[in-house]
Amino acid sequence: FFDGVTLAPSDPILGVNEAYLADEFPGKISLGVGAYRTEKGLPYVLPVVKRVEQQIWEDPRANHEYLPIDGLPVFQRLATELIFGPDCAAISDGRIVTVQTLSGSGALRIGLTFVARYYADASSLPPIYIPSPTWNNHRDIVPDAGLGEARTFRYLDAKSGGVDMPGLLADLSDAPVGAIVILHGCAHNPTGADPTLAEWRDIVSLVRERRLIPFFDVAYQGFASGDLDTDAGSVRLFADAGVDMLLSLSFAKNMGLYGERIGSLSVVLSEHTVNVPATAKAVRSQLKAVIRPMYSSPPAHGARIVAGVLGDATNFAAWKEELAGMASRIGDMRTALKAALDANGAPGDWTRIVKQQGMFSYTGLSAAHVAYLRSKYHIYMTSDGRVSMAGLTTSTVQRVADAIKDAVET
Ligand code: LMR
């Protein structure tokens, strides 16, 4: 029956990690997948997470029962407050419906499937706009959710390495009313280039004027500036504007809970919603109807960890410090890599490495450079030249800088 199955292409990000793991060279370096590594190059379990995991099992009521279809209620509340802010009017109005999801990808998939099923104008589905470039999985999730191929809008100014605001505004001005626009809340992946708050205001105005529906993907809250509230600034501007929006939140990176698959999807109803309680109830019921046939209900452990961190003042304070520590080590690696490239004379302007924020640097290296780095130096990164800065350490940065110089000069 399955003779006709052909080989699928390997994933552009996780496939790089598979190749890295299969490489037996002892000095190999992984700058591919966006996962934080310590100064020793090792995975990092946050101390606060370990503590909360112990606390979970000290509670005699702890068990492995099913969670509800939409997840742990206390997690839903705390995640919503973390990203929208506890004083958000949409929260007090009851206009935000949040469900627990299988991290950010799960939230995007549930949210887009919901849109495909329940978009007001069932006769024509909305076009989905994604930034160019964007995280690879966006391009794949959109058609898999039944929404056809995504359209792109200009995002990166390749020359400066910053955001191409004129291009972005021009392309979104052409989007039809009701189009869904995927936006990275902070620490844009892969470019590390974010609009300023003033530029976000221009995007809010356009979204209101064109009646577009933003779908925020927030996978790096706390990693851009080191501060959770600062990184939520873009999202809060949109929530304050009272528009319909969706939001995917992930705790993979900022709590180091990659494999726990813990995140949330929020559907925010606009301030023009006629009957908020009834609509919110209906939306939740339909989100559950999407989730149940897909994976029934979400896993519990990650949700309990996040709730334990966010819901306790001491744990929350400890988390903020540990998060700022991760962001600061990445910042140090940016400075060190740029300095090493300047010092060894690698051709090019490497200023963008210190200007971009979050986990990645979009170096401008070509696919040929990336292939050269992999085959000659066992240094792994995605073919678009994205470097996961968290994969660098003080002991590898010089080696990477010298390899980059060689690649660029060859
Ligand atoms: C990345 O972009 O490297 C991460 O978000 C991991 C992933 O799932 O692609």
| Fold of the 73-311 domain | Aspartate Aminotransferase; domain 2 (3.40.640)
DSSP 63-107: --PPPPTT--HHHHHHHHHHHH-TT-HHHHTT-EEEEEEEHHHHH
> Per residue in 216-254, pLDDT tens?
999 999 999 999 999 999 999 999 999 999 999 999 999
Cβ atoms < 10 Å from Cβ of 99: 27
Share of residues in the chain with pLDDT > 70 (%): 99
Predicted complex: ipTM over 0.85? yes
pLDDT (0 to 100) of residue 125: 86
Antiparallel, parallel or unpaired: β 213-218 and 180-184? parallel
Pocket test for ligand 1, best of 137, 330, 380, 382 (most atoms within 8 A of CB): 137
Tens of pLDDT, residues 47-78? 999 999 999 999 999 999 999 999 999 999 99
What pLDDT does residue 382 have? Answer: 95
Average pLDDT over residues 395-404: 97
What share of the chain in percent tops pLDDT 90?
A: 95
Ligand 1 pocket, residue 359 CB under 6 Å: no
Nearest to 135 by CA among 325, 362, 346, 337: 362
Provide CB contacts within 8 A for 123, sequence distance 6+.
Answer: none
CA nearest 138: which of 212, 210, 217?
Answer: 217
Q: Which two tokens stand for residue 201?
A: 């205001």
Helix (H) or strand (E) holding 402: helix 397-409
- The answer to whether the CB of 298 is under 6 A from ligand 1 is no
Kindly list the domain boundaries of the chain, sorted by start residue: 14-44+325-409, 73-311
User: 18, 20, 33, 388: which to mutate for ligand 1, most atoms within 8 A of CB?
Assistant: 33
Of ligand 1's listed atoms, the one at least distance from the Cα of 219 is 5
Provide the token pair at 281. Answer: 């109830």
User: What's the pLDDT band for 119 if we cut at 50, 70, 90?
Assistant: confident
CA dist., res. 75 & res. 29, Å (int)? 36
pLDDT at 160: 86
121 pLDDT exceeds 70?
no
Fold of 14-44+325-409: Aspartate Aminotransferase, domain 1 (3.90.1150)
Give the pLDDT of residue 152. 98
- The stretches of 150-246 forming alpha helices (DSSP H) are 165-173, 197-210, 228-231, 233-240
Radius of gyration for the alpha carbons in the chain, expressed in angstroms and rounded: 21
Q: In sequence order, what are the beta bridge partners of 163?
A: 156
The answer for 70, left when phi > 0, alpha when psi is -120 to 50, beta otherwise, is alpha
| Residue environment code for 231-241, b if the CB has 16+ CB neighbours within 10 A, otherwise e | bbbbbbebbeb
Average pLDDT, the chain: 96
Q: Decide whether 14-44+325-409 matches 73-311 in CATH topology.
A: no
Q: Which residues contact 156 (CB under 8 A, 6 or more apart)?
A: 131, 132, 133, 162, 163, 164, 191, 193, 362
Given a cut of 70, is residue 120 above it in pLDDT?
no
Residue 124: per-residue pLDDT: 79
Q: Tell whether the model's pLDDT for residue 123 goes beyond 90.
A: no
pLDDT of residue 159: 87
User: Measuring CA to CA, which residue among 334, 343, 380, 307 is closest to residue 48?
Assistant: 307
Q: What's this model's pTM, rounded to 2 decimal places? A: 0.95
For ligand 1, what atom is nearest to the CA of residue 382? 3
Q: Are 71 and 298 within 8 A, CB to CB?
A: yes
